[in-house]
Amino acid sequence: MKAQVAFEFMVMVMVLLAFIIPIWAYVSNVQQSAIQELSASYAKNAINNIADTANLLYSQGPPAKAALKIYIPEGIENVNITGSNIMFTMSATGNTLSAVSMAPLNGTLPMQTGTYFIILEATTDFVQVGVE
C-alpha cells in the first residue's frame, strides 16, 4: 500500500514537472531577448545623443562645448568613432549599431558598462569627443 502511494506521488510530481519545465524555459528565453533588446536600445540612444549634440556644436563652431550623461549598456564589444560615424558592436548578437553625424568626429568612448559624462567640444576642423 505504501509503495502505491509513493508511486502515485512520484507520477504526479513528474507530470507537474513536465508542465513547469517548458514554461520556465520559454520565460527564460523571453527574458534574455528582452535584456538584449533593452541593451541595444540604450546603446542606440547613447550614440544618437552624441551624434545630435555633435551636429549642434559643429553648427555653432568653436568654442562651443557640451557635456552629455550617457549610459553604456552591458554587452558592448567594440566602440568605434571614424570620420562622422559612431559605431557600437553588441557582443551578444553581433549587431553593429551606428549613427552618422554631420560633423567630423575625433575621440574615444568607453566600452565598460556604466554611466559616463561625455564632453564634446567643437574645434575648427572636427568635434572632439571624450570622457570627463
Instruction: Quick: pLDDT tens for 18-59.
Output: 999 999 999 999 999 999 899 999 999 999 999 999 999 999
CB atoms within 10 A of CB 51: 21
Q: Residue holding cell 568612448? A: 109
In the DSSP assignment, the letter for residue 102 is S
Full strand arrangement of the beta sheet holding 96-100 = 76-82, 85-90, 96-100
**Which three-class secondary structure state does DSSP give residue 126?**
coil
Percentage of the chain exceeding pLDDT 70: 99
Which is nearest to 127 in space by CA: 69, 53, 71, 68?
Answer: 53
The per-residue pLDDT for 125 is 87
The per-residue pLDDT for 66 is 94
Which is nearest to 42 in space by CA: 80, 79, 70?
Answer: 70
Cβ atoms of 107 and 130 closer than 8 Å? yes
The per-residue pLDDT for 11 is 92
Residue 85 belongs to what domain range? 2-131
Cβ atoms of 60 and 107 closer than 8 Å? no
Does position 17 have pLDDT exceeding 90, yes or no? yes
Banded model confidence at residue 5, pLDDT cuts 50, 70, 90: confident
Q: What is the mean pLDDT of residues 88-114?
A: 88
**Which three-class secondary structure state does DSSP give residue 8?**
helix
The per-residue pLDDT for 130 is 84
Q: What is the dihedral of CA 22, 24, 26, 27, to 10 degrees?
A: 160
Number of structural domains found in the chain: 1
The per-residue pLDDT for 93 is 77
The per-residue pLDDT for 52 is 94
